[in-house]
């Protein structure tokens, strides 16, 4: 799917169904050794912005409406009500 900021980059790894969406998922180990499963779109945006504390109460939302897209130009953080 083509969005305003270039083509989608589609995650082809592990997925998980959540709230009628199929999301890309990955295991992440933080520097404090805490291990967790994370949505790859959220992780891509966190890595781009270089902040692990970023947007803990916000959802990663896709401007392209493609839940498997990891193009950080297509991902924004929003409240779940948006």
Tell me whether residue 55 is in a domain.
Answer: yes
Tell me whether residue 7 is in a domain.
Answer: no
- Quick one: pLDDT at residue 1? 46
Tell me whether residue 43 is in a domain.
Answer: yes
Q: Domain residues for 44? A: 15-79
* Predicted TM-score (pTM) above 0.95: no
What is the total count of domains within the chain? 1
Mean pLDDT by 10 residues, the chain (82 residues): 72 91 90 87 88 73 92 87 58
Tell me whether residue 2 is in a domain.
Answer: no
Tell me whether residue 42 is in a domain.
Answer: yes
Tell me whether residue 4 is in a domain.
Answer: no
- What CA–CA distance (Å, rounded) separates 16 from 52? 22
Tell me whether residue 8 is in a domain.
Answer: no
């Amino acid at each position: 799917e083509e969005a305003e900021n270039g083509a989608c980059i589609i995650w082809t790894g592990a997925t998980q169904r959540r709230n009628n969406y199929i999301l890309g998922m990955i295991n992440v180990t933080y520097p404090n050794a805490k291990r967790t499963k994370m949505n790859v779109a959220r992780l891509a945006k966190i890595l781009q912005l270089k902040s692990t504390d970023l947007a803990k109460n916000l959802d990663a939302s896709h401007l392209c409406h493609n839940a498997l897209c990891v193009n950080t130009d297509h991902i924004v953080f929003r409240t779940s009500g948006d």
